[in-house]
Amino acid sequence: MAKITYDKPIVELQGDEMTRILWDWIKEILIEPHVSLKTEYYDLGLVHRDETDDRVTFEAGEAIKRLGVGVKCATITPNEQRREEYGLKRLYPSPNGTIRAILDGTVFRTPILVKGITPYVPTWTKPITIARHAYGDVYKATDVRVVEAAKAELLVTDSAGNETKYPVFDFKGAGVLQGMHNTDRSISAFAHSCFNFALSAGKDLWFGAKDTISKVYDGRFKAIFAEIFESEFKDKFDKAGIKYEYTLIDDCVARIMRSSGGMIWACKNYDGDVMSDMLATAFGSLAMMSSVLVSPDGNYEYEAAHGTVTRHYYKYRAGEETSTNPVATIFAWSGALGRRGETENNKPLIDFAANLERATISTIESGYMTGDLASIFNAEGITPKKLNSRDFLKAIASEL
Ligand code: NAP
Ligand code: MG
């Protein structure tokens, strides 16, 4: 059979350790037999980042802006220990942070559901996607320890030098104080990414914040979302048969718990930090969590939510077999290929991406999986068989 082709390359961002190994196997066993891959390749492995003084990361980010679709392998964010291990020139920042800043994007995380791995919340039969605003608030705040009675005020100086003071609190004794901010620009980018993602996924969008208490701050988030929705997205949402809804964050949490899932949940920075860990755990496994970075102008970068699985890599390097779960990395590839299929109206490519995901899920549902899943799998009449990574990929290939 002739291989599937497409026109515009996908940006391929290679990474580190065990996921770097899985990356090559996924291409060899699942993709290249069917698709004539056309990628612009960037090696973000730590060795090459060091050789290029991290230039490769910036170039890869710019390439995603230019070509619209990227697929990224997990990468090491170096710490002191890694600096020694790799003899690095310096401690490079997280590649995800660098690329997120270039694309000004929002990260959407969605669990991959299979029968036999039951969420802790039994009513959640459809995946819940979380969108975390990744800029500002308490993550870029000034924290102050007040050590004795003191008067705290907020001082704002505009560009003409005019000063406005706002009272914060009259301390009678010691305490703490915090100043934080966000920008209309960042909130608007977040809103655009959320609305665009909801449209492309065909799912409802919920946004929760606390504007009853934080009337100006959270009120601004609510207002920006509402303005952008009314002026740019309302008609498109109506046509797609999906809804946008703002609710108070506490009401939102209560309703999510009672729901059957299936929505996209936009969260402010802190809420997203806390709730995405809760959702990942509740749905079963970090190895089954897919992730995509969406820029406000519609560029997509797909990746797995987990890291480079270092412990397994050391075993692999020692010549031992590993049973590392490749599912989230497979879904990064299927996501990118499917997206390229959409941008080029390429039905065979869209179908291939969907079939790859279906084959992966049905392989697990028929009892063949990696060790992390075998230990939590529970479906009547099926005894889970634990396979090593390569044999698991081959099982998916024959299903495909
Ligand atoms: P990790 O690589 O996600 O692994 C943590 C543990 O979770 C593993 O040891 C393994 O548990 C389990 N696990 C994660 N993914 C798995 C998979 N696909 N299959 C089977 N088990 C899996 O996190 P980490 O150990 O904290 O970080 C390792 C490196 O990854 C670090 O250098 C970090 O900087 C980097 N990292 C990168 C990204 C990214 O690029 N997006 C994200 C997070 C971390 P067992 O050992 O019990 O089997
Ligand atoms: Mg967290």
Tell me which of 75, 96, 306 to substitute to probe ligand 1's pocket, judged by most ligand atoms within 8 Å of the beta carbon.
306
Query: 14: helix, coil or strand?
Result: strand
Are 157 and 258 contained in the same domain?
A: no
| The last residue of a domain, from among 221, 250, 283 | 283
Indicate left, alpha or beta for 388 from its phi (over 0: left) and psi (-120 to 50: alpha): beta
pLDDT of residue 211: 96
CA distance 108 to 381: 35
| The last residue of a domain, from among 243, 262, 283 | 283
Helices and strands of the chain, counted as H and E runs:
15, 16
Look up residue 191 and give its two tokens: 């809103």
- 271 is in which domain, residue-wise? 118-140+183-283
Tell me the pTM.
Answer: 0.89
| The last residue of a domain, from among 226, 251, 283 | 283
CA distance 29 to 11: 20
Residues 6 or more apart whose CB falls under 8 angstroms from that of 377 comprise 116, 117, 364, 367, 369, 384
**Distance from Cα 138 to the centre of ligand 2, integer Å:** 13
Pair 74, 96: CB distance under 8 Å: no
How many domains does one find in the chain? 3
Are 44 and 26 contained in the same domain?
A: yes
What residues pack around ion ligand 2 (CB closer than 5 A)?
Answer: 273, 277
**Distance from Cα 235 to the centre of ligand 2, integer Å:** 35
**Distance from Cα 339 to the centre of ligand 2, integer Å:** 28
Per-residue pLDDT of the chain (400 residues; tens, 9 = 90+): 799 999 999 999 999 999 999 999 999 999 999 999 999 999 999 999 999 999 999 999 999 999 999 999 999 999 999 999 999 999 999 898 899 888 888 989 999 999 999 888 989 999 999 999 988 898 888 999 999 999 999 999 999 999 999 999 999 999 999 999 999 999 999 999 999 999 989 999 999 999 999 999 999 999 999 999 999 999 999 999 999 999 999 999 999 999 999 999 999 999 998 898 888 888 878 889 999 999 888 899 999 989 999 999 999 999 999 999 999 999 999 999 999 999 999 999 999 999 999 999 999 999 999 999 999 899 999 999 999 999 999 999 999 9
Are 133 and 210 contained in the same domain?
A: yes
The CATH number covering residue 63 comes to 3.40.718.10
Q: Is 285 in the pocket of ligand 1 (CB under 6 A)?
A: no
Q: Is 309 in the pocket of ligand 1 (CB under 6 A)?
A: yes
Are 128 and 206 contained in the same domain?
A: yes
Q: Is 74 in the pocket of ligand 1 (CB under 6 A)?
A: yes
pLDDT of residue 296: 84
Pair 396, 358: CB distance under 8 Å: no
Look up residue 14 and give its two tokens: 């290679």
Indicate left, alpha or beta for 381 from its phi (over 0: left) and psi (-120 to 50: alpha): left
Distance of CA 231 to the CA centre of its chain: 27
Q: Is 307 in the pocket of ligand 1 (CB under 6 A)?
A: yes
| Ligand 1 atom closest to the CA of 371, numbered from 1 | 20
pLDDT of residue 105: 83
Are 149 and 136 contained in the same domain?
A: no
Are 229 and 214 contained in the same domain?
A: yes
pLDDT of residue 298: 87
| Ligand 1 atom closest to the CA of 329, numbered from 1 | 18
Are 147 and 136 contained in the same domain?
A: no
Residue holding tokens 């100006």? 216
User: What is the per-residue DSSP string for 232-275?
Assistant: IIHHHHHHHT--EEEEEHHHHHHHHHHS----EEEE-HHHHHHH
**Distance from Cα 75 to the centre of ligand 1, integer Å:** 10
C-alpha distances out from residue 300 to 180, 277, 318, Å: 29, 22, 36
Q: Where are the alpha helices (DSSP H) in the chain?
A: 17-26, 46-51, 55-67, 80-86, 95-103, 184-201, 217-228, 234-240, 249-258, 269-282, 310-317, 327-343, 347-365, 371-374, 389-399
Ligand nearest to the CA of 301: 1
CA distance 95 to 235: 37
Are 275 and 360 contained in the same domain?
A: no
pLDDT of residue 118: 87
Pair 307, 74: CB distance under 8 Å: yes
**Distance from Cα 74 to the centre of ligand 1, integer Å:** 9
Query: 290: helix, coil or strand?
Result: strand
Are 27 and 59 contained in the same domain?
A: yes
pLDDT of residue 223: 98
Are 275 and 130 contained in the same domain?
A: yes
Are 108 and 5 contained in the same domain?
A: yes
Pair 301, 364: CB distance under 8 Å: no
Are 358 and 331 contained in the same domain?
A: yes
What is the torsion angle, in degrees rounded to the nearest 10, for the CA atoms of residue 179, residue 79, residue 320 and residue 388? Answer: 30
Q: Residue of the nearest CA to atom 6 in ligand 1?
A: 309
Q: Is 96 in the pocket of ligand 1 (CB under 6 A)?
A: yes
pLDDT of residue 191: 96
